Amino acid sequence: MNLSIIIPAYNPPTTFSSLIKSINKITPNAIIIIDDGSTPKINIEHSSVVVLRNTQNKGKGYSLIKGFKYAEKEGYTHAITIDADSQHDPESIISFLEFDKNISLVLGTRNFTTDMPIHRRISNTLTSYIISFLCGQTVIDSQCGYRRYILKDVCSESFKEKGFQFESEVLIKLLRNNCTHENLEIPTIYSNENSSINNINDTFKFIRLILRNIFKD
């Protein structure tokens, strides 16, 4: 397994450089950062780090797809995706690496406890249920961005969603194609950092995604 770590980042918090240092201490795997139009530009100088830049903010999905394609082109077979806001514990990378390399998707799953804001608990429970129903497989935490992918599986698909809904779309497409998946329990971490998620707008986009997949446009 030749694995890279992909981090989409748009105006990341001050903890971002510490996150990169923590990852470097845990694993020698390459880190691919997609700077999604941040101001100022992300500047990380380390031999294991590559920074790809979007000239303007394109969205999380757009950035992840860009990272996947770059990683596959560079010869990587797998990728772990981590959010830039330090809500994913880097120590869990070790657990992701322990899974069978032939599993298409390893999905980080959080406990929907009081540590998670109530609106996130409600939306995550509903979206996970809907996606599980559509795919005929159990998805516990559809909105968690901490995952491990087989790159050839995800890069062989085409996607319409360029924002946060991409992570739901990729689940629907891969699981409907009978790609294997496993769930990995990870810590539930929430900070006071501002979220880029627009609850109303992103709910509308999720409904549009579901309708598109029901009617197969």
Q: Give the model's confidence band at 65: pLDDT under 50 very low, under 70 low, under 90 confident, else very high.
A: very high
209 vs 32 pLDDT, higher one: 32
208 vs 165 pLDDT, higher one: 165
User: Any idea where the domains of the chain sit in the sequence?
Assistant: 3-215
Q: What is the pLDDT of residue 79?
A: 98
pLDDT digits (tens, 9 = 90+) for 107-125: 999 876 656 666 667 777 8
What span, in angstroms and rounded, lies between the C-alpha atoms of 174 and 145? 15
Q: Give the model's confidence band at 204: pLDDT under 50 very low, under 70 low, under 90 confident, else very high.
A: low
Q: Give the model's confidence band at 215: pLDDT under 50 very low, under 70 low, under 90 confident, else very high.
A: low
pLDDT digits (tens, 9 = 90+) for 148-164: 999 999 999 999 888 87
- Distances in Å between the alpha carbon of 26 and those of 19, 89, 97, 120? 11, 11, 12, 29
What span, in angstroms and rounded, lies between the C-alpha atoms of 133 and 175? 11
| DSSP letters spanning 120-174 | HHHHHHHHHHHHHHHHTS--S-TT---EEEEHHHHHTS-----STTHHHHHHHHH
CATH class as words, domain 3-215:
alpha beta
Q: Of all residues in the chain, what percent carry a pLDDT higher than 90?
A: 58
Q: What is the pLDDT of residue 142?
A: 86
Do 82 and 33 meet the contact criterion of CB atoms below 8 Å apart? no
Q: What is the pLDDT of residue 108?
A: 93
Q: Of all residues in the chain, what percent carry a pLDDT higher than 70?
A: 82
200 vs 136 pLDDT, higher one: 136
Mean pLDDT calculated for residue range 12-16: 92
Asked if residue 89 has pLDDT above 80, the reply is yes
Mean pLDDT calculated for residue range 80-108: 94
